[in-house]
Amino acid sequence: MYILRLFVFITLLVSVMTAQTPQFNLMPYPKEIALTGDHFRLTKDFDISIFGIEDTDLQMYASRVLRRLSGRTGLFFPQDYITNASRYDSSDLKIYVERAGKLVINEDESYYLSISSSSVMLKAQTTFGVMRGLETILQMLGSDERGYYLTGARVTDEPRFTWRGLMIDVCRHWMPMDVVKRNIDAMAAVKLNVLHLHLSEDQGFRIESKKYPQLHLLGSDGDYYTQEEIKTIIQYAAARGIRVYPEFDVPGHTTAWFVAFPELASAPGPYKIERNWGVFDPTMNPTIERTYEVLDTLFTEMAALFPDEYFHIGGDENNGKQWNANQDIQKFMKENGIKDNHELQAMFNKRMLKILTRNGKKMIGWDEIFQPELPKDIVIHSWRGVKYLFESARKGYMGILSNGYYIDLIQPAEYHYLNDPAPVDSVLTEEERARILGGEVTSWAELVTPETIDSRIWPRTAAIAERLWSPGTLRDVESMYQRMEYISYQLEELGLLHIKNYDMMLRRLTGYRDFAGLKKFVDILEPVKIYTRHRQGVKYTSYSPYTRVADAARPESMISRRIRKIFEELMAGNTKNAAELKLLLKEVKERQTAVKEILQVSPVLREMQPMSENLTKLAQLGIEAVDIYLSKKKPAKNWHKKVEPVLLEAEKPYGQTEIPFAKTVSEFVHLLIK
């Protein structure tokens, strides 16, 4: 027994060590990969054949991959489109597939990939597995003095979670079709498989209804998807192995509904589209039949439009103020023995469930919809945390996690990456763990426009995609950052603007002058985190300018991250990178000289002058602090009085941006003066 346990321990240790040391710029990293030492050399005659079934979506997907490979290498491959007529036993890449994938949860997406010096073989049970494997092949591309090659390896891969999603809020700021399509392409590249469209909000009702056209005509400012456009999005995603399902948030977040149907509200109108951000009072009246008549008709129409088996009803952030103030609602509650608003919303949810069940749909809602008497095939969408996710799993309910994946909160990739829907060391039983389907990245759009959405979603979402696909033991943060940067550039070929628009926005801020100095400055900064921008003296609305430095700045500065990391190493007693740290801080100081002139001549940039001054002082202080630390001497008498104002000022935000390493420098300095 002891030997068996030792063997199991060693096997587990090896698997953990293997999982934590990725060797290639692959993301998500495969479940198992073994190098063969070979290279498959790409030539101008490279071609692809598909065996097993004839599937148009897969043929087109493989053809696009061939073009992307051609684009990266500059090789003029003779094959145009991959069809049955172009199937050859001698093809360089042979694909074997058993059946077409089905757009349902728990569909097989596994694949096996073999790359030798003479051929490349990709096998999968479903077309979706082939699609996932083709993305891995693209990431295996390398080059040397002899040309381009695919690294020789055997890859056995499958996802850890079946539900790997991205939610796009198209309501608070309208997101046209091209935004959705390019993000679908990026989703496929990192093996995400669910697109959640948030289609109704206080700020807009964003889809055509032929039953109630007044909803989109009065509640959207003219910005909405026609039903034909929705069909196009669904088809576009399906061709990439991605499910699409809708969310219509009820009974709260419904101001835009009431522009067309004020009689559904719990307080008298008139109503107009909300232009501000926050949680608002307007809420549907759950005690009148007219509410259910409209919702039944609309949801029946939308259920027919969206083929996916799931339908999201929202259900979050109903503050209950209109219900409390409505005498008729209070009377209804008293007569029906409903003790509070939670029970009243539970009654509403049950009516929604009946409507959806009748239309062949399974209900999803945010945490607030959870109640024990609901059927076990609903899905709890947790925005409040794993505590609530685990609670619902223990009670027999399926769930998906978004808490920790709110990509609009401008948190670092590391934070998202280490956030796990079902950690390997969690106390859940295997049966309970199986009920956790996966997670969704949520891109809320209060502070996001079509110009900036890509930079807020990517590349950090690639790290979350790996968390949802790859083994739970894969937690090497430094490797993740290295690979994420590489994949970020590859995503550009799909039309994403997360890198390109950065320069464009900075150029505009300078009045179309030379922006090189400004870029060196903004490269160090990050937008303030969470919802802090709403509390810094600027009132944002749906029509505010989202074109300032805070909007252009990347969510995570790699320069600042490196500075912060080396300071943390020093506090842990590791001095090996101290010289690098001093050089980085010196460079930060020099960058402020380069930006000084442009900050003075561009009015929109003047709000950033204090930030530049603070960076100069903080960098100088950081250099002094490192020198003191390395000298192993105490700081000079009263040094702390000199540096304290610098530290306090450096931690202040300006222009809704912050110095990411300011707090770390402060911690380091206070360690010195203890």
Q: Residue 2 and residue 538: Cα distance in Å, rounded?
A: 65
Q: How far apart are CA 300 and CA 492, in angstroms?
A: 39
Active site (annotated) includes residue 317: yes
Q: Are strands 398-401 and 379-382 parallel, antiparallel or unpaired?
A: parallel
- The answer to whether 127 touches 100, Cβ cutoff 8 Å, is yes
Cis peptide before 660 (omega within 30 of 0): no
CA angle 340, 349, 305 (to 5 degrees): 155
Give the residues across from 196 on adjacent strands: 167, 245
> What does residue 506 show for φ and ψ, rounded to 5 degrees?
-65, -40
- Helices 177-189 and 127-139 sit at what angle, rounded to 10 degrees? 80
Q: In 10 A of CB 213, how many CB atoms? A: 11
Tell me how far apart the terminal alpha carbons of the chain are, to the nearest angstrom: 53
Q: In whole angstroms, how far apart are CA 645 and each of 126, 291, 651?
A: 62, 58, 10
What's the Cα-to-Cα distance from 241 to each of 184, 437, 495, rounded to whole Å? 10, 17, 19
Is residue 21 within 8 A of residue 476, CB to CB? The reply is yes
Q: Strand, helix or coil at 665?
A: helix
Among residues 317, 343, 391, 432, the one annotated as catalytic is 317
Q: Cα–Cα–Cα angle for 158, 72, 178, nearest 5°?
A: 75
On whether the CB atoms of residues 556 and 460 are closer than 8 A, the answer is yes
For the CA atoms of 62, 67, 69, 75, what is the dihedral angle to 10 degrees?
130
Strand partners, 243: 194
Give the rounded distance of the alpha carbon of 551 from its chain centre: 17
CA distance 565 to 579: 13
Helices (H), 210-320: 213-218, 227-238, 255-260, 289-305
List, by residue number, the catalytic residues.
317
